[in-house]
Amino acid sequence: MTADGKNLSNTEKLVSKFLDLLPSNSLVERANWSARLPSNNEAIVIPTQVNYVGKAANLYDGGYQLNGSAYVISKHISNTWLWDRVRVSGGAYGGFCNFDTHSDFLRELEMDDDTLTKAIIGTIGDVDAYQLPDAKGYSSLVRYLLGITEEERQRRREEILSTR
């Protein structure tokens, strides 16, 4: 539950009573579900004025092990190469690169210290962005559901800050 201290205190007893009314065992049998989709080329056509084109690859199949530097590299690719190619040269609204850490094009990049520092600052700004209370609650819920611990988040921050 996300609320300020006063409202949390005021509702604590009511929420506790509500939780006590819930069954202690699940009344629903747990189902096994696989979110893996077949690896096919696919196009989704929707009526919109903005088009999206995506490309994905499973880096883990090639032996990649997650490191916080992947976030810095993604930020750098979004702010430089994709911006120049998609926005400036292509005239599109923009482009972005995202590394999904929860899924089952990194290449050697060379950048000067100033460019690296900007990419690291931008990445930390994304990881630890300011959030209003409702967004903090939602983010906390998502991390809980995905099993992301504070220790893991801190390790990623340290990896991001130590990117060379």
What's the structural domain count of the chain? 1
pLDDT digits (tens, 9 = 90+) for 44-63: 777 877 777 777 777 778 88
Q: What is the spatial distance between Cα 131 and Cα 8, in angstroms, rounded to a whole number?
A: 19
The parent domain of residue 114 ranges over 52-163
For the ranges 1-15, 25-39, 112-126, 130-144, the maximum mean pLDDT occurs at 130-144
What value does the mean pLDDT take over residues 103-121?
68
pLDDT over threshold 50, residue 107? no
In 3-state terms, what secondary structure has residue 114? helix
pLDDT in tens, 13-30: 898 899 888 887 777 777
The rounded distance, in Å, linking the Cα atoms of 136 and 132 is 6
Residue 134 lies in a domain: yes
Q: DSSP states of 25-72 as a string?
A: S-SS--------------------SS--------GGGGT----THHHH
Yes or no: say if 160 and 68 are a contact pair by the CB < 8 Å rule: yes
State the CB neighbour count (10 A cutoff) for residue 111.
Answer: 14
Residue 74: which CATH number?
Answer: 3.30.830.10
Q: What per-residue confidence (pLDDT) applies to 151?
A: 93
Indicate whether 8 pLDDT > 70: yes
Q: Is residue 78 part of a domain?
A: yes
Backbone angles phi, psi at 144, to 5 degrees: -65, -45
